[in-house]
Amino acid sequence: MIHQSVASCIGQTPLVQLNRLFPYKGINVIAKLEFLNPGGSVKDRPARFIVEQGLQNGTIDQKTHLIESTSGNLGIALAMVAKVYNLQFTCVVDPKISATNLQILHLLGANIEMVHVRDDQGGYLKSRIQRVQELLHDIPQSLWINQYANDLNWQAHYYGTGSEMVASLDGSIDCLILPVSTTGTMLGISRRLRSEFPGLRVIAVDAVGSVIFGTPSGQREIPGIGASRVPELSKQIEVDEVIYVNDWESAQGCRALVKYEGIFAGGSSGSVIAAIQKLLPSVPSPYRILTLFPDRGERYLNMVYDDNWVGQLHHSDAQPNLSTFTTKLPTFNKAELKNLNLLT
């Protein structure tokens, strides 16, 4: 098959079983390699879906100037898709963005707006959104993608990522465990999988210091997981449990993944590995776990793969003591899912 653009290459990423990292009898851990998308992350999916839906329904045209607040991956994905469709794009970022991601954004022709003032939660998310609002006022025919509240975000994963998982699996699964930030990926995939496996246990992996599920805010260094404000999409999320992972544990998870599986993935993937390690002592056998790895490892060479950076985390007193904290959350039953038109 010959594709007409890089945008049409997004999706159809493979599933791989992590036999070397988790060599336990009766326990299977399966991961979808989303970093193999052409833009390097799972964010390629909503970027393409949102832009193409907008072009189809007329909310986006050739005069539209796209704007988004992002820690890097969605910005890269939007810059790539904007290039394909000849659209202007401005990306609002903060100092925690990796140098690699920032350079990629420049190379893809994105306009960069960097905020430097921390918000009242100690992060930059609210400051980025404030800058987005200013740009919407200043730039004619501008449109905020708003991944935090845009239903097209989770729908991209319901119809894309989640459906691919269902098609590729060779049987049922017991548990879905995914990292969260905007919560769109979790929302879309969990809804799709629960339409096939109603008894599925869904676990969110969040960063220590993130406020998504009501825990205290704190300093976080790894981008792409957690949030300093509650995303609007999270009000719809249906998870059974949250496992919290701190930056140091995430870094160790990344290193274990590349050491045992040869998979060079980003910080949130390490968070998932650390969370699974916490989960495994409590699961029965047989048990099948499904996850995904959101982005590439080279974007974190100066972070989780840098010994000095990790060493400073290990000796820091700034990490709140929540690394092993879990909380139970209510789930949606079948009747409620039917009301959402997600079960027939």
Tell me what percent of the chain is helix, strand and coil, each rounded to the nearest 5. Answer: 40, 15, 40
Tens digit of pLDDT for each residue in 87-116?
A: 999 999 999 888 888 999 999 999 999 999
Tens digit of pLDDT for each residue in 9-32?
A: 999 999 999 999 999 999 999 999
Q: Is 326's pLDDT higher than 60?
A: no
Q: 336: pLDDT confidence band, cut at 50, 70 and 90?
A: very low
Query: Closest Cα to residue 231, out of 215, 244, 212?
Result: 212
Give me the mean pLDDT over the 57-67 stretch.
97
59 token code pair: 């909310």
Query: Closest Cα to residue 240, out of 329, 173, 332?
Result: 329
Q: Is 2's pLDDT higher than 60?
A: yes
Q: In residues, how long is the chain?
A: 344
- Angstrom distances, CA of residue 291 to CA of 42, 181, 213, 268: 12, 15, 20, 11
pLDDT score recorded for residue 313: 86
Q: What percent of the chain has pLDDT over 70?
A: 91
pLDDT score recorded for residue 314: 60
Q: Is 337's pLDDT higher than 80?
A: no
Query: Closest Cα to residue 271, out of 288, 291, 241?
Result: 291
Tens digit of pLDDT for each residue in 248-297?
A: 999 999 999 999 999 999 999 999 999 999 999 999 999 999 999 999 99
Q: Which of 128-137, 164-173, 226-235 has the lowest mean pLDDT?
A: 226-235
Q: Which residue has the higher pLDDT, 159 or 327?
A: 159
Q: Is 126's pLDDT higher than 90?
A: no
Q: Is 315's pLDDT higher than 90?
A: no
DSSP 296: B
CB 47 within 8 A of CB 41: no
pLDDT score recorded for residue 144: 98
326-328 vs 241-245, strand pairing mode = antiparallel
pLDDT score recorded for residue 316: 47
Which ranges constitute the DSSP H helices of the chain?
44-57, 73-84, 99-107, 125-138, 151-156, 162-168, 184-196, 247-261, 267-279, 307-314, 334-339
Q: Which residue has the higher pLDDT, 32 or 236?
A: 32
Tens digit of pLDDT for each residue in 175-219?
A: 999 999 999 999 999 999 999 999 999 999 999 999 999 999 998
Sign of CA dihedral 20, 25, 28, 29: negative
Q: 53: pLDDT confidence band, cut at 50, 70 and 90?
A: very high
Q: What percent of the chain has pLDDT over 90?
A: 81
- Count of Cβ atoms closer than 10 Å to residue 334 Cβ: 11
Q: 318: pLDDT confidence band, cut at 50, 70 and 90?
A: very low
DSSP 158: I
> What is the set of domains in the chain, with CATH numbers?
6-39+151-316 (3.40.50.1100), 44-144 (3.40.50.1100)
5 token code pair: 């653009």
